[in-house]
Amino acid sequence: MTTPHPTRSVLYVPAANQKALAKIADLAADAIILDLEDAVAPDQKATARNNLARFFEKRPDKRLIIRINAMSTEWGADDLAAAKACKPNAILLPKVDSPRDILETDDALDEGDAPKRIRLWAMIETPKAMMNIGAIAALGRDRAARLACLVAGTNDLAKDTGIRMTPDRRYLMPALSQMVMAARAGNLTVLDGVSNDFRDLDAFSAECSEGRNMGFDGKTLIHPAQIEPANRAFAPSEEDVAEAEAIVQAFAADPAQGVIQINGRMIERLHLAQAEKLLAARL
């Protein structure tokens, strides 16, 4: 069984910023989203794609995701072609409204003979996406659809709905909870949205703890200063680690069993998968 990769901290890096690209190898983030979309001005789109091509020639040992512009934009097709050539771990699709957006991109990758190991991540940031989130997440159960992760786009969602972005995020909670539920139903990773004030790390840490308690696997970030607090908040406790190690060891000792007993509790293989995922997120 493949060990899950942690996604406690996932940092957006503008692909047009060569200085930021040069620092990626030294960052402790679990994954990097190389952004061709919001963080890149229209007149810099081609430059950003060229930067990525050069960056991947000396690819650092990092999990790398490329966020392209929506396929409905004038840049989408060129972005997808550039991303496919780079062979990242995943391609992040913005403004996903329905399963069709995922399936059409998957078809385009298949027609271009892109390796199946290139997964698709989906930004959930529009009212239409929230209305269709169950059907979108269901693609996670279809290996051929490539979908592996949902990413909360809280800024765009708030803008398009009029939801007020209060410090406690109380008005966003229903949407965030729905994303987590849908992700779990689709066996997908799910990432919390960004915190815009990167200078207030106390507030950021509180938001990370809140996100973990809600069930998110990690958080998307906009500044390297947010990496350490996110890694710490989404790392399991010592008690959780000890319990997970006991589950893994028990199944390793008797791999033919589908159900085992530990301290009077019946443990199934679904708990083994959860334990392995938890251990992958250790500090």
**Of residues 269 and 219, more confidently modeled:** 219
Calculate mean pLDDT across residues 134-140: 97
CA atoms within 13 A on the CB side of 170: 2
Q: What is the pLDDT of residue 2?
A: 45
Q: How far is CA 148 from the centre of its chain?
A: 8
**Beta partners for residue 146, in sequence order:** none
Quick: pLDDT tens for 162-175: 999 999 999 999 99
From 32, 22, 89, select the one nearest 223 (Cα to Cα): 32
Quick: pLDDT tens for 14-29: 999 999 999 999 999 9
Residue pair 271/249 in contact by the 8 Å Cβ criterion: no
Residue with structure tokens 């938890």?
Answer: 278
Residue pair 45/35 in contact by the 8 Å Cβ criterion: no
* One-letter amino acid for residue 50 of the chain: N
What does the alpha-carbon distance between residue 243 and residue 57 come to, in Å, rounded to a whole number? 42
Q: CA dihedral in degrees (94, 35, 191, 62; nearest 10)? A: 140
Quick: pLDDT tens for 206-239: 999 999 999 999 999 999 999 999 999 998 878 8
Residues across the chain: 283
From 190, 187, 158, 151, select the one nearest 173 (Cα to Cα): 158
Q: What is the pTM of this model?
A: 0.89
Say whether pLDDT at 264 is over 80: no
Supply the Cα-derived Rg of the chain in whole angstroms: 19
What does the alpha-carbon distance between residue 51 and residue 175 come to, in Å, rounded to a whole number? 35
What does the alpha-carbon distance between residue 105 and residue 111 come to, in Å, rounded to a whole number? 10
Q: CA dihedral in degrees (14, 121, 87, 225; nearest 10)? A: 40
From 115, 13, 117, select the one nearest 60 (Cα to Cα): 13
Quick: pLDDT tens for 16-63: 999 999 999 999 999 999 999 999 999 999 999 999 999 999 999 999
